[in-house]
Structure 1
Amino acid sequence: MSKHPIDPPALLSDISGFSGDLSRVLTPEDRDTLAHLLKRGIGENSLRAARSDLAYLEAWSLACEGGQLEWPPARETVLSFIAHHLWDPDEKAINPNHGMPDHVREFMTRGGYLRSTGPHAPSTVERRLSTWRSICKWRGLDHPFTHPEVAKTLRAAIRSSSIPRNRKSRKAVDVDLINELLDHLDASCTTYLMQNAEDEAIRLRAFRDRALLAVMFASGGRRRSEISNLMSGQVYDLEPIPTEDPAWPDGIPSMGLRLGRTKTTDDRDDESVFLSGRAAVALQEWQTAASILSGPVFLRIGRWGKIYETSISPHSVNQVLKNRLHEIGLDPRDFSAHGVRAGYITSALKAGIPAPEIMEQTLHKSLDTLLGYFKDEQQRQGRAARLL
């Protein structure tokens, strides 16, 4: 095994070399091309997480061994990583040598890599091991991560962990809550008299945020990055849906969104989801208010109403939701953008919509994954939980 230093910010250029034999026949241009394809195939969020994980792994190796990570790692190295991060707090109180050694913990804390005094969350450990394994695979190296001893140890450590798997959002943002938010924003879109630039900024943000929340929910509970990265070229108008509902005398407005590559699909799938009714109207009115003909759909807005040509960030998508929830008197700490996806699925299943139809909108490939969003809420409100 050889020790190979890695500069975490240069992760792409490093992994694009693949194995040693292959790198000898690749030109610099080939490696640049492969790095670009890897970046597109992995996605910005996943790439950012991989860089962070790799930086942590390198720091941990430096703390333990005084040197860089070995490629591929020894089986004992991976087992040590599990032992250092999924230890038992009760046993630690009795045996100071249990878990992460003090000198490793102190090194990681001083470097800003370790912020908790307790064991890590199982999901964090699994993600970092997955990144470690993936880089080994990209390099064409044999690795110990699928060895029975490693797999069995990891399963046992996760089962014994005292840290529950955290929800990304404590509460779901269901259809009733979304409608309440949209009603609140309807008023903001119409009541401001535009006496000054600040009033115009408030009105424009209301149009944007109303469309953003409506589209995020109605399109299947889209993820923050999918909303932030949505481009005008992905949005297309459809013929109104005929109806006898007097509220829609000209038919129900309908639009489509071509999503391309998402977390569960790639560009070849060319998947579309659809907006009909209130969400379609909200999006159309925002596009009109901001004169959006091309570029990003959900744009940054300055304090005095200046509309920038750049899209809002995924973090800002989450902040829009939290700010608007605060305005209607709810605690934003109970919610996150991930709760919109859970709320959409929960609301759709409660409304009696068949799971395959819901999956066409959420683009889930696995029924088990879809039902996982609904299981806890159904169990909490079910008759079995209220038997006493």
Structure 2
Amino acid sequence: MTVPVGASPQVFAEASLSVNTVRAYRSDLRQFARWRAGFLDHEISEPHELEQVITAPVDPTEVAAFLADKANAVLPDGGQRYAPATISRYVAAIDWEHARRGHTPPGTTPIVRDVLKGIRRTRSVPVRRAKPMTLKALQTALLKIDVADLQTGALGTRDQALLLFGFVGAFRESELTALTVADLRLVDGEGVYARVRKSKTDQDGAGRIKVLRQGANPVTCAPCAYVRLSRLMLAQDASGEAGLFAALTGASLAVHVCADGLGADRLPPSMPFFRAVSKWGLYRTTGISPTTVGKAVARRAQAAGLGENGWSGHSLRAGFVTEARNAGATDVEIMNQTHHTNAATLQIYDREYAPLIRNAVTRMRL
């Protein structure tokens, strides 16, 4: 976020967290305010009805009652309405609100801490993780995209680049959607250098580079996808719909285009690289949201006959780690691309997506 000159200490304090984190905290605090105001889960509340509801300071026993109420809430089918992770997030939001107003965070008190621990032990449910989009699945999905169709070619070209960038660069959804034209640079003989200016593990914005290397197959060559999408957006921006249609005519994934470069013209540096597409099949000047990444993955997977369930934006990142593990990559090699800061996190991927990697059972002659 941008902080103006003369900003107050409170503004700088809020800038210590990402915009998404602050937005999530405020959303969770609204849930707490609704509960304090007496609204049930299915009841609709108007903003003015919550304006006078205090969310800090609140007695820890009341916070504990709120958590227990959420833990006991059930859906019509009998399932849990709120997962322990969601309830833990509520505590984080309430603690944040108390701390920033100079009060003791309820989450540090024995009653809240013990109630939360009990909820985690008795209400735990298996975490539903994204289905990894492996290289074979990625190729299958990409080959089903028609980048020459006059109605859907703009969307197809964007999605093809989106899926390739997400997989090869092991990007988080928020990192993908934050990329601007200025963040990307085509390096001859190597690939595309992508600067991630800020991420989940780099809130201070020091920035790091991901390299999207050239692929032997033009279908899975990220630099080729970068060139195709750049040229197509340039054609539309220069000559409108006619320019876009002319550029789509004869477009193909069968040949490499990365060696040809971008040409003399360039897109505005500050423009989002992954732009929204209108219902008429034209590029907008606005960027896409992280949610759009997941929708694109699910849409392309379903169109390729890979099933409807389990796909999300994280499928690309999970697919990269899975393929890297199967290829024998070390923790350091994987982390150089994923930008994980803790190797222990990769063990989650091992357990969920590649359970035979570094598993003693593979040494047994069964």
Band the TM-score falls in, shorter-chain normalisation: 0.7 to 0.9
Contact 1:236 1:255 in 2 (8 A): yes
Write out per-residue CA displacement over residues 308-347 of structure 1, whole angstroms, 9 at most, x where no aligned residue: 1111222222111111111111222221112222221111
Equivalent-residue separation in structure 2 for 1:45 and 1:70 (angstroms): 20
Q: Cα–Cα, structure 1 residues 216 and 131, in superposed 2: closer, same or farther, change >3 Å?
A: same
Root-mean-square deviation (CA), in Å? 3.2
Q: Cα–Cα, structure 1 residues 183 and 48, in superposed 2: closer, same or farther, change >3 Å?
A: same
Contact 1:201 1:303 in 2 (8 A): no
Equivalent-residue separation in structure 2 for 1:370 and 1:57 (angstroms): 34
Q: Cα–Cα, structure 1 residues 38 and 53, in superposed 2: closer, same or farther, change >3 Å?
A: same
Q: Cα–Cα, structure 1 residues 307 and 38, in superposed 2: closer, same or farther, change >3 Å?
A: farther
How far the C-alpha of 1:159 sits from its partner, in A, is: 1.0
Q: Does residue 182 of structure 2 align to residue 205 of structure 1?
A: no
Write out per-residue CA displacement over residues 119-143 of structure 1, whole angstroms, 9 at most, x where no aligned residue: 5210110111111111212222222
Contact 2:56 2:97 in 1 (8 A): no
How far the C-alpha of 1:384 sits from its partner, in A, is: 5.2
Q: Cα–Cα, structure 1 residues 306 and 119, in superposed 2: closer, same or farther, change >3 Å?
A: closer
Query: What is the aligned partner in structure 2 of residue 140 from structure 1?
Result: 102
Query: What is the aligned partner in structure 2 of residue 167 from structure 1?
Result: 128
Contact 1:217 1:344 in 2 (8 A): yes
Contact 1:144 1:150 in 2 (8 A): yes
When the two structures are superposed, what TM-score results if normalisation uses the length of structure 1? 0.72
Q: Cα–Cα, structure 1 residues 280 and 154, in superposed 2: closer, same or farther, change >3 Å?
A: same
Select which of 87, 92, 96 maps to 1:125. 87
Q: Which amino acid aligns with 1:54?
A: L
Q: Does residue 308 of structure 2 align to residue 332 of structure 1?
A: yes
Q: 1:334 aligns to what SS in structure 2?
A: coil
Q: Cα–Cα, structure 1 residues 371 and 118, in superposed 2: closer, same or farther, change >3 Å?
A: closer
Q: Which runs of 5+ in 1 are unaligned?
A: 1-11, 17-27, 88-99, 193-198, 242-253
Considering fraction of residues, name the structure with more helix.
Answer: 1
Write out per-residue CA displacement over residues 327-372 of structure 1, whole angstroms, 9 at most, x where no aligned residue: 1112222211122222211111111111111111111111111221
Instruction: Give the stretch that moved more between structures: 71-80 or 206-215.
Output: 71-80
Query: What is the aligned partner in structure 2 of residue 195 from structure 1?
Result: none
When the two structures are superposed, what TM-score results if normalisation uses the length of structure 2? 0.76
Write out per-residue CA displacement over residues 286-312 of structure 1, whole angstroms, 9 at most, x where no aligned residue: 111211612010112223332211112
Q: Cα–Cα, structure 1 residues 30 and 299, in superposed 2: closer, same or farther, change >3 Å?
A: closer
Contact 1:216 1:340 in 2 (8 A): yes
Q: Cα–Cα, structure 1 residues 78 and 305, in superposed 2: closer, same or farther, change >3 Å?
A: closer
Matches within 5 A, 1:211-250: 211-220=161-170, 222-241=171-190
Identity level (%): 25
Q: Which amino acid aligns with 2:267?
A: L
How far the C-alpha of 1:149 sits from its partner, in A, is: 3.9
Equivalent pairs counted in the alignment come to 312
Matches within 5 A, 1:368-383: 368-379=344-355
Q: Cα–Cα, structure 1 residues 179 and 267, in superposed 2: closer, same or farther, change >3 Å?
A: farther
Contact 1:232 1:297 in 2 (8 A): yes
Contact 2:61 2:111 in 1 (8 A): no
Query: What is the aligned partner in structure 1 of residue 193 from structure 2?
Result: 256
Write out per-residue CA displacement over residues 195-215 of structure 1, whole angstroms, 9 at most, x where no aligned residue: xxxx32322222111111000
Query: What is the aligned partner in structure 1 of residue 207 from structure 2?
Result: 270
